[in-house]
Chain A
Amino acid sequence: MHTALAWRNIWRNPRRTAVILAAIIIGVWAMIFLGSLMRGMAGGMVKNAIDTLTGHIQIHQKGYRSDPAIEYTMTDPEPVLSDLDAILPPGSDWAGRVRVHAMANNARHSAGVAFVGIDPETEPLVSFIGPETLIEGRYLQKDDSNAILVGKALLEKFETHLGYKLVLMAQDADREVASRAFRITGVFDAEMAAAEKGFVFVNRSAAQKMLKMGRGLSEIAIVLPDREKVPATAEILKQKLPDHYEVHTWQELLSAIAGYLEIFDGFMLLWYLIIFIAMGFGIVNTILMAVFERMREFGVLKALGMRPWWIVRGVLTESCLLLLLGMAAGNLLSLGSIFLLSHAGGIDLSAFAAGIEYSGVSRIVLPVLNRQDLVTANLVVFFLGLLISLYPAIKAARFTPVQAMTHI
């Protein structure tokens, strides 16, 4: 009967209840839905960074990381490569690359690029480049020696076209400047324009030949089936590989992003609290109004023998029902919004913020629902909601019956 009484009390003034419910619903929606977009942005940023030739783990010649020059080439990577399948967890993929800084030129333009020699078969397993990302032309083939893949943004910047030549200049293993022309056979579209402008891809053997590297590699990128396995796998690799190799995890390679992710949960909690503070004022005000309107009734209840604690419990039961109702609707609205937006293909932010891709954020942001975020948001609303409802509840309980019954 206590719950029934609380339920009927909250519907005494449907308009006021609608206002307070709207505040809770919008608050919960803002927490969960906008939180999922923030989570999606952060997740997209990590995914982009990992896809943009980082992978989960990289193996280099010692010294390459601080000075990514051709001198720090893994000159004889075959023993390492043959051991990888045995060391890595099942389902892992890896690819060896040549990667040096180079100057790209055509008749009109020149620009610094990362010149990457890839194995056309294994590279799509560990990075964004592959047949799917091509929007024009064709992907590299095993025996292509002159073919080069360029990004759409670089193509536009260089005012060139498919089938045209692009000249690359880079320092070779003999510290001489090597230069040769490649023909543009494919144009790729990357998540980030920076990747489209910054990378050009050729067959690994063509790059090795041009740079006189023999069978040498600049790096080996590894992608594991589960990101959680990265630290343990990296540790095993460090133990098993010879000393002249160095192993880095994506967190070490992308320290800024990894740091951002570490404080991201804190940001989310802060976000919830800011929304709750705005919502909380509305809740307290409305419940306080409802309590003052019924002050006479509380006096009667006290006269009948109701103890102050029971009045607190009654007001808190009403708050609890309002919060649960608002939370249920807010959760449904959030889940619905997330579902619809996911099926609509996400939000294209490029129209709102030019250059956003330079910060590593995807142009398309898809909401990511994290169970922990969902639970945290609901716990924040429920427990802080009850906590702030204590104020009007205690106020109602403190009046003496005579005070309450003479309250106008």
Chain B
Amino acid sequence: MDMTDHPAKIVQVADVVKTYQQGSVAVHALRGVSLSVEKGEFTALAGPSGSGKTTLLNIIGGLDKADAGEITVDGNRFNEMRDSDLARLRLYKIGFVFQSYNLIPVLSAVENVEYVMLLQGISRKERRDRSRAILDDVELSGKYDRRPHELSGGQQQRVAVARAIVSNPAIVLADEPTANLDSETGRGLLEMMREMNVSKSVTFIFSTHDRMVMEYARRLVRIRDGQVADDILK
């Protein structure tokens, strides 16, 4: 596959292989996956449990390392990067939304959103202003100071989305973002993310096995047995 940097291609994955060892059994999570995602896409990686979609998402996010293949995100080749470089890339270029929200329980909604900017060294006032603005965008005005346990699942996931996009990352990776939400809340969240995708040109890549998420996606990449089975642009 041609891995020449292309400004429009925000993610390029070529022939990625990942094998886990579970006891004495080798589990082939990814068997030579290749994929390109362009800026502004709203892509779903779909497949049943164990298909390798979360592994692929983790590898694109630099959370896990591939055994073979090449990964480039926003022009950064992972093969040439150290752990600290990957951490820096995640901090500035990649936003994450997790299935179980993973907010920091002792921080309020606004502080959770601020935290990434704190790590980036942004001033207190700017942090606070941007966090409040983004929370307003995800319809959480007036809930700035609530701790995660004082918010519903849907609200927590909105805070997680706000945290993921507040520092204008190149991509947002969302691992089954609606899995813990009821369908109505999940739909609201998807609409909100789609709105962010359109209005702020944020690139989203989801992993999901939820039919509703697949319907919302503008591109659907089906993963089966560690390989790309299908790639549909709607």
**Taking beta carbons and an 8 Å cutoff, which residues of A are in contact with B?**
1-2, 5, 8-9, 12, 296-297, 300-308, 310, 400-402, 405
Contact partner of A306 among B58, B87, B94, CB < 8 A? Answer: B87
User: Can you list 12 residue pairs at the A/B interface with Cβ under 8 Å?
Assistant: A5-B106, A8-B107, A297-B104, A304-B116, A305-B87, A305-B119, A307-B87, A308-B87, A400-B63, A400-B64, A402-B64, A405-B98
Q: Main SS of the interface on chain B?
A: helix
State in angstroms the CA–CA spacing of A12 and B147 once bound together: 13
A1 x B119 contact (CB < 8 A)? no
Q: How far is the CB of A208 from chain B (nearest CB, A)?
A: 84
State in angstroms the CA–CA spacing of A301 and B112 once bound together: 11
Chain B hits for A304, CB < 8 A = 90-91, 96, 115-116, 119, 163
State in angstroms the CA–CA spacing of A305 and B170 once bound together: 14
Nearest 3 CB-CB pairs, A to B? Answer: A305-B91, A8-B106, A305-B90
Query: From B86, which residue of chain A is reached at the shortest CB distance?
Result: A305
| Contact A310 B119, CB 8 Å, known A1-B111, A1-B114, A304-B91 | yes
B64 x A307 contact (CB < 8 A)? no
Q: Main SS of the interface on chain A?
A: helix
Total cross-chain contacts (CB, 8 A): 64
Query: From B167, which residue of chain A is reached at the shortest CB distance?
Result: A305
B88 x A5 contact (CB < 8 A)? no
Interface status of B84 (Cβ within 8 A of chain A) = yes
Bitwise, B85-117 to A at CB < 8 A (1) or not (0) is 001111110101010001011110001001110
State in angstroms the CA–CA spacing of A306 and B119 once bound together: 7
B63 x A305 contact (CB < 8 A)? no
State in angstroms the CA–CA spacing of A303 and B164 once bound together: 11
Determine which residue in A8, A304, A307, A308 has the highest number of CB atoms from chain B within 10 A of its CB, and name it: A304
Q: How far is the CB of B22 from chain A (nearest CB, A)?
A: 12
Contact partner of B63 among A5, A303, A308, CB < 8 A? Answer: A303
Chain A hits for B111, CB < 8 A = 1
Query: From B101, which residue of chain A is reached at the shortest CB distance?
Result: A300
State in angstroms the CA–CA spacing of A128 and B82 once bound together: 76
Bitwise, B6-25 to A at CB < 8 A (1) or not (0) is 00000000000000000000
State in angstroms the CA–CA spacing of A301 and B107 once bound together: 13
State in angstroms the CA–CA spacing of A400 and B90 once bound together: 13
State in angstroms the CA–CA spacing of A399 and B102 once bound together: 17
Chain B hits for A5, CB < 8 A = 104, 106-107
Interface status of B52 (Cβ within 8 A of chain A) = no
Besides A296-B102, A304-B116, 4 other CB < 8 A contacts? Answer: A300-B98, A303-B90, A304-B96, A305-B88
Q: How far is the CB of A222 from chain B (nearest CB, A)?
A: 66
A300 x B106 contact (CB < 8 A)? no
Interface status of B118 (Cβ within 8 A of chain A) = yes
A402 x B63 contact (CB < 8 A)? yes
A12 x B106 contact (CB < 8 A)? yes
State in angstroms the CA–CA spacing of A400 and B58 once bound together: 11
Chain A hits for B119, CB < 8 A = 304-306, 310
Chain B hits for A303, CB < 8 A = 61, 63, 90, 96, 98
State in angstroms the CA–CA spacing of A342 and B84 once bound together: 57
Q: How far is the CB of A2 from chain B (nearest CB, A)?
A: 8
Q: How far is the CB of A11 from chain B (nearest CB, A)?
A: 8
Query: From B163, which residue of chain A is reached at the shortest CB distance?
Result: A304
Chain A hits for B116, CB < 8 A = 304-305
Q: How far is the CB of B100 from chain A (nearest CB, A)?
A: 9
Query: From B94, which residue of chain A is reached at the shortest CB distance?
Result: A305
Chain A hits for B64, CB < 8 A = 400-402
Contact partner of A12 among B88, B91, B105, CB < 8 A? Answer: B105
Q: Tell me which residues from 40 to 86 in chain B have a Cβ below 8 Å from any Cβ of chain A.
A: 58, 61, 63-64, 83-84
State in angstroms the CA–CA spacing of A405 and B99 once bound together: 11
Q: How far is the CB of A408 from chain B (nearest CB, A)?
A: 13
Query: From B111, which residue of chain A is reached at the shortest CB distance?
Result: A1
Chain B hits for A405, CB < 8 A = 98, 102
State in angstroms the CA–CA spacing of A300 and B116 once bound together: 11
Chain A hits for B118, CB < 8 A = 1-2
Chain A hits for B104, CB < 8 A = 5, 297, 300-301
Q: How far is the CB of A18 from chain B (nearest CB, A)?
A: 18
Chain B hits for A1, CB < 8 A = 111, 114-115, 118
Chain A hits for B87, CB < 8 A = 302, 305-308
State in angstroms the CA–CA spacing of A94 and B223 once bound together: 100
State in angstroms the CA–CA spacing of A1 and B83 once bound together: 25
State in angstroms the CA–CA spacing of A304 and B90 once bound together: 6
State in angstroms the CA–CA spacing of A302 and B62 once bound together: 11
Query: From A1, which residue of chain B is reached at the shortest CB distance?
Result: B118
Contact partner of B58 among A9, A302, A308, A402, CB < 8 A? Answer: A402
Q: How far is the CB of B97 from chain A (nearest CB, A)?
A: 11
Chain A hits for B163, CB < 8 A = 304
Determine which residue in A2, A297, A303, A405 has the highest number of CB atoms from chain B within 10 A of its CB, and name it: A303
Chain A hits for B63, CB < 8 A = 302-303, 400-402
State in angstroms the CA–CA spacing of A1 and B113 once bound together: 13
Q: How far is the CB of A182 from chain B (nearest CB, A)?
A: 81
State in angstroms the CA–CA spacing of A306 and B118 once bound together: 10
